[in-house]
Amino acid sequence: MISESCDIKEFLDAAKNKDISELILLADREALEAWRMSRRHKKRNEKGMGDCGRYETLLKEFTRYLRSANSLPKKSNDPLYSTLHQFHEKHLSSKSSRA
């Protein structure tokens, strides 16, 4: 798992130099690991792992976006969605225009 703390920014930092197919695979695997982690901690009744469920959702939406080339949901009040949009603009827009 790339981000043991379920931090989308940490995941995106690790994914900066990946092409879209690698990024989709990484995000898909990371979402699965986040799901597993949140379930393990839920079974143990541990607190503090609620962010993994949110992290999983963000990764799934990001993966869906990468696969379909649709826009990410507009959630202007959510800084995490803003982070995903910024990542796309900075790292993926230039790669897709070169192809």
pLDDT (0 to 100) of residue 77 = 74
Query: Could you tell me the pTM of the whole model?
Result: 0.68
Instruction: Provide the residue-wise pLDDT of the chain in tens; the chain has 99 residues.
Output: 999 999 999 999 999 989 888 999 999 999 999 999 988 876 555 555 568 888 999 999 989 888 886 566 666 677 777 787 788 778 776 555 444
Instruction: Report how far residue 61's alpha carbon sits from residue 84's, in angstroms, rounded to the nearest whole number.
Output: 10
Q: What are the boundaries of each domain within the chain?
A: 8-98
Q: Classify burial at 72, counting beta carbons within 10 Å of its beta carbon; exposed 0-12, middle 13-18, buried 19 or more.
A: middle
- Nearest Cα residue to 25 out of 46, 11, 37, 39: 11
Query: How far is Cα 72 from Cα 61, in angstroms, rounded to an integer?
Result: 7
CA triplet 54, 85, 59: central angle to 5 degrees? 30
The C-alpha atoms of residue 93 and residue 50 are separated, in whole angstroms, by: 32
